[in-house]
Amino acid sequence: MLQKIETALAALEPSFLQVEDESHMHSIGARSHFKVVLVSDVFADVRKVQRHQKVYAALGDLMQQFHGLAMHTYTPEEWVSVENAPDSPKCRGGSAQDKK
């Protein structure tokens, strides 16, 4: 699934792309939650909601194959000042690895 997401997001011409499987942090199961950090010039002068819409459009039908997607979208200029996306919060429903 990681490779499929990376391939689909290549349409946004990223200068940096990181896709992580964060399913281990959630109770739903394998390949259910992903985190995307995407840096691209296509986000210049585009609001956050519109950036996310571009990501959704690039992913198309893949969106139906997983449950959650954390998106961190930046222009190259923003990325220089940020240099790192925030960590994702833990699932409120618990992790598949949590002991009961």
Complete domains list, the chain, with CATH: 2-82 (3.30.300.90)
Tokens 């942090």, located at residue: 25
How far is residue 11 from each of residues 26, 40, 56, 60, 90, measured CA to CA in Å?
Answer: 29, 10, 12, 12, 30
Model confidence, pTM: 0.79
Whether residue 68 contacts residue 34, with contact meaning beta carbons closer than 8 Å, is answered with yes
pLDDT digits (tens, 9 = 90+) for 18-72: 998 876 555 555 566 788 999 999 999 999 999 999 999 999 998 888 767 889 9
